[in-house]
Amino acid sequence: MNIKNEFKAIDFFSGAGGLTHGLKAAGIAVLAGIDNDRTCKVTFEKNNKGAIFLEKDITKYSPANLERDLKIKRRDDYMIFAGCAPCQFWSIIRTSKEKSKKTKNLILDFQRFVEYFKPGFVVVENVPGISSKRESPMGKFITTLEFFGYNIAHGITDMSLYGVPQRRRRFTLLASRVSAISLPKPNGKKNTVRKVLGAKNGFSKIKAGTKDKTGFLHTVASLSKKNLERLQMTDKNGGDRSNWQSKKTHQLVCYASGEKKFYDTYGRMWWDKPSPTITTKFFSISNGRFAHPEENRAISLREGATLQTFPKSYEFIGTSVASIAKMIGNAVPPAFAEIIGEQIINSK
């Protein structure tokens, strides 16, 4: 029997299934994704055959109910629990901490399931801030794993060193109750925007506001007349707002003093570098360096998904550009998740 076939996983906070898709690509059977966002259900199940979507609020759902619902056993040496909780509260990106307060300790809710089942392996991926902030619950979580005899490896990983065409720094933790464990070493693959986007990669030139009604979703948000003019004045291939920031007709009021702060906003991506971190707002040029390297528009939904390493066949089902961008931006890049899965398999 192929040992890969013995591994199984449950994807907590699964969203649209980026982590699940990567683990499945590594040969791991994902039993279920658990998330309280019902809008992700159709996308998750459509693209991850064999895995069911459990719409559950992890703060109210009990380990005993999970045991009943999935008929899984405790202390399964081949079980992987992955807990990549929403992480806005610990992010260094400017977000509303008040809005995200209720999710700041979700890792401790995940901990309840780890304590109850004691799976063979545990995976956590989160923003770097969750490991450095004094009040973060991550320290308590790690101490609990150590108490139950887990070998642990954790650190900040830059996914651009693992073939992901995106600068995406994340806190990554792997823990094993049954073997030695280490974080995967960078694989030396360097991907850039040019290597995955552009006409030669199947992305035709489009204008701002284009709605792609096919499953490919080469859909892009509209731009106001002034924002379109701003992009027309922005240098191609990595340009920023310096060309027009001093023009009274086009300058951003919040930066009218000439401060060189947050210069990524309204900026273009570079062709020959990885993209910036794909966030849930990547469809908007005012939220980061999310403008196309040369076309006068933000990147499209499919371009964002491609930079996140979702296969082009991955179908996203949502009600708006914003809802689909949220699924894409919140995901663990499947290519990195596959590497994590292989690392676990090879540890046995």
Q: What stretches of the chain adopt beta strand conformation (E)?
A: 8-12, 29-35, 52-55, 79-83, 121-126, 151-158, 169-176
Domain containing 172 equals 3-187+334-347
Q: How many other CB atoms are there within 10 angstroms of residue 311's CB atom?
A: 12
Report yes or no on 222 lying in a domain: no
For 157, what's the count of Cα atoms within 13 Å in the CB-facing half-sphere? 27
Q: Is 84 a catalytic residue?
A: no
Q: With H, G, I as helix, E, B as strand and everything else as coil, classify residue 204.
A: coil
Please state the domain count of the chain: 1
pLDDT tens digits, 156-206 = 999 999 999 999 999 999 999 999 999 999 998 899 999 999 999 999 999
pLDDT tens digits, 80-124 = 999 988 755 434 445 444 544 555 689 999 999 999 999 999 999
Report yes or no on 231 lying in a domain: no
pLDDT value for 261: 62
Query: Average pLDDT of 292-308?
Result: 98
Q: What stretches of 138-293 adopt beta strand conformation (E)?
A: 151-158, 169-176
Report yes or no on 279 lying in a domain: no
Active-site choice (40, 84, 87, 254): 87
pLDDT value for 263: 73
Report yes or no on 50 lying in a domain: yes
Report yes or no on 324 lying in a domain: no
pLDDT value for 264: 86
Report yes or no on 201 lying in a domain: no
pLDDT of residue 1 exceeding 90? no
Average pLDDT score over the chain: 91
pLDDT of residue 14 exceeding 70? yes
Query: Average pLDDT of 265-286?
Result: 97
Report yes or no on 338 lying in a domain: yes
Q: With H, G, I as helix, E, B as strand and everything else as coil, classify residue 298.
A: strand
Q: What is the CATH number of the domain that holds 172?
A: 3.40.50.150
Say which amino acid occupies 305.
A
pLDDT of residue 328 exceeding 70? yes
pLDDT value for 87: 59
Q: Please count the helices (runs of H) and the strands (runs of E) in the chain.
A: 12, 7
Report yes or no on 53 lying in a domain: yes
| Sheet (strand 151-158) strand order | 52-55, 29-35, 8-12, 79-83, 121-126, 169-176, 151-158
